[in-house]
Amino acid sequence: MITAVAVVASVAVIGYVMLWILNRTPARHRNLTPSRMHALLNALLVRGIAGSRLIIDVVDTDWFLQFRLDGPPGARKIVSHFPIVDWSETFFSSLIETLKSEHFAYRQITDAGIDSVYLEFGTDTAEATRYALAVLSHVFHVDAERDVVARLFDVREFVPQHRS
């Protein structure tokens, strides 16, 4: 009898832990039209906390874009770091060329020994969207609606609005 109770309790605990893990796994957002990209960046700004992130991965590669929410409530800002590491070195000159031709304000910084290109968008989610789409199309040469997956981390529940 005690063994049966222990087994039932173990199964209940394992089930609870699995549900917790599954609920902590961020949803994958595909088919990133400009309006969906903008909605994700807006969700980051409105529903996120300092340190929340939007990661946009190019499928079947190591390539990614990242956005982070910085600052205290009332002074939040969206920032992006494009790290200059092994996988991204080949994109560096194309990135800088795109940033200049599209008139993005940026600076090169070194943080924790890693060089990166840093952009600050403040609360301008339209400009952050424009940057994401420019890098995906002109630097990575991929289609945001077909070749990428986005995930929000540490952002209160986000349900994308689908239009018919």
Q: What is residue 26's predicted lDDT score, i.e. its pLDDT?
A: 73
Name the strands in the sheet holding 148-155, side by side, starting at the edge strand that comes first in the sequence: 107-111, 114-122, 77-83, 64-70, 48-58, 148-155
Contact 47, 155 (CB under 8 A): yes
Report the pLDDT value the prediction gives residue 28, as an integer from 0 to 100: 85
Who contacts 112 (Cβ-Cβ below 8 Å, separation ≥6)? none
pLDDT of residue 20: 43
Q: Could you give the 3-state DSSP secondary structure of residue 153? A: strand
Q: For position 15, what pLDDT does the model report?
A: 46
Query: For residues 99 and 127, what is the distance between their CA atoms, to the nearest angstrom?
Result: 12
135: left (phi over 0), alpha (psi -120 to 50) or beta: alpha
Paired tokens of 132: 């994401």
3-state SS of 92-142 is HHHHHHHHHHCCCCCEEEEECCEEEEEEEEECCHHHHHHHHHHHHHHHCCC
pLDDT values of the chain reduced to their tens digit, one per residue, 164 residues: 666 545 444 544 454 444 444 345 678 888 899 999 999 999 999 999 999 999 999 999 999 999 999 998 888 999 999 999 999 999 999 999 999 999 999 999 998 899 999 999 999 999 999 999 999 999 999 999 999 999 999 998 655 554 43
Q: What is the pTM of this model?
A: 0.80
pLDDT at 78 (0 to 100): 97
Largest distance between two CA atoms of the chain: 74
Tell me how long the chain is: 164
Domains of the chain, by residue range, sit at 28-155
pLDDT on residue 111 = 86
**Pairwise CA distance, residues 87 & 89, whole Å:** 6
Q: What is the pLDDT of residues 53-79, one digit of tens each?
A: 999 999 999 999 999 999 988 889 999
